[in-house]
Amino acid sequence: MNKLLTFCLCLGFMAANAQSPFLTRDSLNINRINAMALVHGDMWYDPITYAPHCKFPPDTKKNVGFVSSVWLGGYDNTGAIHMAAQTYRQDGNDYWPGPLDATGALSLATSTDWAKIWKVNRSEVNYFLSLPSHTITNTPASILTWPGKGNANATGNGGVSLTISNDMAPFKDLNGDGIYQPLNGEYPDFPGEQALWWVFSDNGPTHTQTNGAPLKAEIQVLAYGYNRGTLIDYAVFYDYTIINRSALNYNNMRMSVWSDVDLGYYLDDYIAVDSARRMGIVYNANNDDGAAAGHPTGSYGANPPASGVAILRFPGDVGSTLVPMGSFVSYENSPAVNGNPVSISDFNYYMHGQKRDGTPFPIIDDSWDECASSNPAGDRRVVQTTGDFSLAAGEKVHIVIALVVDSNANGCPSVDLGGVKTIADTARNTFTNPPPTLGASSVVTANHTLRVYPSPAGSMVYVSPGTAVSGVWYVSVLDVMGRIAATATATGTQASIDISILPPGTYAVRCIVDDKVLSSRFVKE
């Protein structure tokens, strides 16, 4: 039985025996990574097909991850453990979409209404800002229904109206009143060219993954990516706002990023640790991913990439001085003492660098990686944990992570992890010092001969920047509302875009070529 089928059976068993999770999902797909997110807080797979969905390159069946989620754990003033975690949902579900109420609870009805991921593109914001006035008719839906505090037009799952009295999705508050009013010109506030926002909590209809006491934690997520034609296009960001909605003060609190880090073919992976960057890395155990299994669909073959998850922001960081990572462990897919967690104590031990019996894992340092240790290759599961922090009743903290990918890492014994570390540094620098927003005024048309042909076009349109291009360049096709209708990447002097499914009309084309933004238009018949 292969890994995917096992996962399907596990989810099917849970759905038949408990309140079924929601299947709502969406993807960050603006740059070189196409990473799916789910409303329950887990990521990188499609809950409908049960297939991995952390695609790199974005238009292939190759993935740099299978499943990931966050774990939270802490102690109240009596010393009792409170825990929330998620793996594959085969044993239950701790997280549910939606915010907690004043009592720290989340009903199924509220969770149903909030089972939505809101998505917005920079092009939609730029279109919105170009309008002389704003109405319900001309405001893009992604901006009109954005779940900012007090938005009278906010809608959730199935178009249901939402009443939002607490701070939720970030927005540009032009008049400083704390209320989101898109018809007064306010709009979603996010870095980069595309963002997702959603909220989930750990005290909803079930808490059956850990079967422990919930924290009554609300987790708001802003995920975003850049499309600049630079190294930052190989990173996606996840900004977690964690709010303690309980009446308890937690100490020795920790957050973990749990991942089943399948890189292409899942049985020939290695992992490494970069403590200075607070990053876990997955790469291939040989130079030919999937060769031992006959290169199944989704394997990378020769010269596979490497990916990493870096913790960019953590409570206690001051400038460039970073609080050390709390622990990093990898466990087996087995019932062994270093195997799959099944109880609240197992999750807690793993979050503190200990095996399921409480004995410590071997201490690893910054130079540790499995290639140097000559370990057998295999299917890796990783728990990457922050250090301790406190979270008082009503308090909130921000923790930011980045998924980064390097396409030229190769595998053991000739692996080179310098590239993935450089991209992690780029992600950290970009997070610390965000680049200027690409506004409507950033579009360059003078002194460039961007060709878009034919026009009128049928099923295909071709784009040529009319100038020498040094590497990969990117194309977005936008409808009259400024929404992305199609995308493509290209090398050389021409990009081909399938527009057969687009309705007739006039479309804009935006290209990012060697850090320049070019634009043109065409007509679809």
| Assigned domain for 437 exists | no
Residues pairing with 522 in the sheet = 507
239 shares a domain with 318: yes
Asked if residue 438 is part of any domain, the answer here is: no
pLDDT of residue 240: 98
CB 361 within 8 A of CB 337: no
Angle at 268 between CA 3 and CA 293, to 5 degrees: 70
pLDDT of residue 303: 95
Residue 271: inside a domain, yes or no?
yes
Residue pLDDT, tens place only, 227-261: 988 899 999 999 999 999 999 999 999 999 999 99
Question: Pick from 94, 4, 96: which is nearest to 50 by CA?
Answer: 4
Is the domain of 307 the same as that of 331? yes
- What local confidence, expressed as pLDDT, does residue 70 receive? 97
Please write the tens of the pLDDT for every residue from 149-172: 999 999 999 999 999 999 999 999
**Which comes out higher in pLDDT, residue 49 or 443?**
49
The amino acid sitting at 152 is A
Q: Which one is predicted more confidently, 79 or 14? A: 79
Is 449 a residue whose pLDDT tops 90? no
- Average pLDDT of the chain is 90
Q: Could you say which of 191, 211, 245 is where a domain stops?
A: 191
Range 90-110 average pLDDT? 95
Q: Which domain-ending residue is among 164, 191, 218?
A: 191
* Mean pLDDT confidence for 42-56: 95
pLDDT over 60 at 322, yes or no: yes
The span from the CA of 370 to the CA of 412, in Å, is 9
- Owning domain of residue 490: 443-524
> Does 2 have pLDDT greater than 80?
no
Amino acid at 414: S
Range with lowest mean pLDDT among 4-13, 59-68, 513-522: 4-13
User: Which of 443, 418, 406, 183 is closest to 304 using CA atoms?
Assistant: 406
- Residue range 180-198, pLDDT digits in tens: 999 999 999 999 999 999 9
- Residue 339 pLDDT class (50, 70, 90 cuts): very high
Identify the residue with better confidence: 94 or 4: 94
Give the pLDDT band of residue 369 (cuts 50, 70, 90): confident
Q: Is the pLDDT of residue 15 over 70?
A: no
Instruction: Please tell me which residue, 450 or 349, carries the higher pLDDT value.
Output: 349
Q: Are residues 460 and 413 in the same domain?
A: no
User: Does 253 reside within a domain?
Assistant: yes
Q: Which two tokens stand for residue 279?
A: 């990053």
1 has pLDDT over 50: no
Across residues 51-69, what is the average pLDDT? 95
Q: Note whether 52 and 187 are same-domain residues.
A: no
The answer to whether residues 309 and 424 belong to one domain is yes
162 and 45, same structural domain?
no
Main-chain phi, psi angles of 201, to 5 degrees: -140, 165
Say how many C-beta atoms besides its own lie within 10 A of residue 298's C-beta: 19
Residues of the chain above pLDDT 70, percent: 92
pLDDT of residue 382: 95
Tally of domains in the chain: 3
Q: Categorize the per-residue pLDDT at 141 as very low, low, confident or very high, splitting at 50, 70 and 90.
A: very high
What is the rounded CA–CA span in Å between residue 219 and residue 197?
A: 11
Looking at 432, 467, 501, the residue that finishes a domain is: 432
Residue 442 has pLDDT above 70, yes or no: no
Same domain assignment for residues 305 and 454: no
pTM of the prediction? Answer: 0.84
Nearest CA-CA partner of 254 in 316, 321, 330: 316
| Domain shared by 66 and 105, yes or no | yes
Give the N- to C-terminal CA distance of the chain in Å, as an integer. 49
pLDDT at 483 over 80: no
My answer on whether 349 and 449 are in the same domain is no
